Structure 1
Amino acid sequence: MTDMSTVSTPASSPAKAPSPLSMFEFWPGWIFYTPVVMYWIMMGLRYGDLSLPTAANPRIETGGLCGESKSSILNMAGETARRWIAPYTLVETGHNDTARAIQAMDHAGLGFPVVLKPDIGCNGTGVKLVADAGALAQALATFPRHVSLMLQRLIPYSHEVGIFYIRHPDEAHGRITSMTYKEVPLLVGDGRSTVEELLHADPRTRLVPQIYIPRLRGRLADVPAKGEALPLVFTGNHCKGAIFHDCTADVTPELEARIDAIMHDIPDFHFGRIDVKAESAAALLRGEKFEIIEINGVGSEATHIWDSRTTLRDAYAAQFMHYRETFRIGAKKRKAGWKPSGAMTMLRCWLRQRRLLASYPMND
């Protein structure tokens, strides 16, 4: 296997051209997630605590449901896990922040280019690719003051993948329950059409131009040369325009063992998604040559549901299964003496995250 966008299918399945979008892929969030919220409430009533899943990863604020610091999770990594995490450092915006950021980069052994992103955030909001000191100063100026930002080495691999991992506290080994290949959509110039014309001619992007146009507004009238490829998004987030492919069927014992060893080295981590970049599909499936971008907790989802071939029924089945597992794990951790965050803490962290997200600049 050399191309992760080639997704395994059962031998008995007839060949079928995939649709550009699934029926529900870009429904408003309140429509798609209402049944998920209702299921969460039902499970909370059953277990006697709506915040019980936050105990699934009890050393992380709210278990990683919302408002957690990305760096605080990575900071918990032991020696084994650290070898697989892309190097990073932190800077707080404010007086002389560019000089302080460069000093922090030097201390961490980071050079340009780097990825600049909020330490508290989600869905790729505010993520910037920074090429040099001048670009760093410009990017820092777009954030509000006194906000903590991560500077992380730009991983030199092209295959971005989301891997969902679950391990119950009474189990010796965890398992991968979802794997998603994240494809950056490209427009390819013909030497005649403008970026806007190419956008409206593409089978997929023409269906959701509102996702791409704000980011491309300064280039809509440009005419790319024949054969020139224009990436439409930098961050591998579905809601920002990346294309997701379900590769769960391709998970190998070697990859599962590698991820299990890494996640065992994050204390009391039992549920979440690991976002990585790999040199190649083959290397990843051997459990080799990949680096971790970030580790997400209870608030993450199994992103294979956004494959355009996933049915609505299968998407909800995956959502319900994963959140059911958070309650089961949370119940076991509660029995072991860990305490859930509580509903008010969840609400306070969600409101803080919401305020921060509204203040961040548009991502690259």
Structure 2
Amino acid sequence: MSDISLASRLQAAIARRTQAKPVSFFEFWPGAVFYAPVALFWIAQALRHRSLTLPALANPRIEAGGICGESKNDILDLAGAEARRWIAPYIGITTQGLATDADLAMAEAAMAEAGLAYPVVAKPDMSCNGAGVRLVETSADLARYLAEFPRATRLQLQALVPHEGEAGIFYIRHPDETRGRITSVTLKYAPMVTGDGRSRIRDLIAADARLNSVSHLLLPKLGAQAARIPAQGERARLVFVGNHCRGSTFKDGRHLITQALTDRIDAIARDIPEFHFGRFDLRFASPNALRRGEDFSIIEVNGAGSEATHIWDPETSIVEAYRTQFFHYGTAFRIGAAMRKRGTPRYGAWRLFGIWQRQKALMAQYPTND
């Protein structure tokens, strides 16, 4: 099946499933409201285990276990030969301290050495929720991105994976277990419209139940592009970053979990030293290929701060969402406790707070995302 035919089928399927219920009633609650029960659960677990930062020990080779402030490049650099076969090629570079005109030459030299060619995906080394991620198709695009990027700050350039399907797969392995398991699969659908040769993009958005419900996220990003009239049959992707808080639709994909997929993800995870808890974000060729554990490329590995994102499926109940959150973060505490028992040094709360502050400050300086 070609990427085009797959994309068309995915778009049609998502349109059918979201007309009746385009968003869940809690999907766009303020973070402070939705995560309040999660914060209380975290505090209860901290009292029980006598440590507020215990999940930071779940993946001891990753800064803060991946709660926040972790390096995307450093995590991927941990991968052994087996895991690296499934990771999209990437390089890490650091912008110059003062001059910006030297950044492009440095970046393109690094790309050439690594065998990367345009288009590539540029992303900050330290960020979350797709902040600062941008598709870079030409040398001029990269020059603009680097000029907008903070000075003396690390970033990542990664090959653009051509597969249309995108998923997040959550993986857990207790340190005393020899094999891990998949606890969540989320299918991510970027917002897109299909032109009829007459309607503006903003009109096509208004005519779609899901897109209209998230138009407050889409239209400000589109700007003048919202007035463009796509040609008949033209598929226009409205955002590049596959994040539900930026307009993408997330669907529960746990029906795709098979023994073959579990074996593949487990082999990859066990080839990342002391990785026990987190989410693999990847692009895949087709659902059937994903079931077989084939034809996918990992674009990011997230640690203890990640969540099982199938909870943002519009059809997921709030009870199921909190049950899932409590299960996963409770597991993070239990894994952290097991690692502490093995002698892993504690991770101080002030240290974690400082890293979170640094990440927050950097994210405010990143270029706008696509």
Contact 1:18 1:308 in 2 (8 A): no
Structure 1 residue 6: deviation in Å?
10
**Partner residue of 1:313?**
319
TM-score, length of structure 1 as denominator length: 0.94
Q: How does 1:1-364 map to 2 (within 5 A)?
A: 18-94=20-96, 95=99, 96-364=102-370
Whole-angstrom distance in 1 between the partners of 2:163 and 2:199? 31
Change (3 A) 1:157 1:16: closer
RMSD: 1.8
- Between the two proteins, the alignment pairs up a number of residues equal to 357
Helix, strand or coil at the partner of 1:301: coil
Q: Which amino acid aligns with 2:91?
A: T
CA offsets per residue over residues 132-191 of structure 1, 9 Å max, x none? 111110111121211211000111211111000000000010000000111112112222
Where in structure 2 are there 5+ consecutive unaligned residues?
A: none
Whole-angstrom distance in 1 between the partners of 2:207 and 2:359? 37
Where in structure 1 are there 5+ consecutive unaligned residues?
A: 8-14
Helix, strand or coil at the partner of 1:100: helix
Helix, strand or coil at the partner of 2:209: coil
CA offsets per residue over residues 308-337 of structure 1, 9 Å max, x none? 100000000000000000000000000000
Seq. identity, %: 53
Whole-angstrom distance in 1 between the partners of 2:156 and 2:108? 12
CA offsets per residue over residues 209-241 of structure 1, 9 Å max, x none? 121112200212222222222111111111111
Whole-angstrom distance in 2 between the partners of 1:326 and 1:177? 13
Whole-angstrom distance in 2 between the partners of 1:98 and 1:68? 25
Contact 1:164 1:178 in 2 (8 A): yes
Whole-angstrom distance in 1 between the partners of 2:293 and 2:248? 24
Contact 1:181 1:244 in 2 (8 A): yes
Whole-angstrom distance in 2 between the partners of 1:222 and 1:36? 42
Contact 1:116 1:152 in 2 (8 A): yes
Which segments of structure 1 move beyond 3 Å, counting only runs of 4 or more? 1-7, 15-18
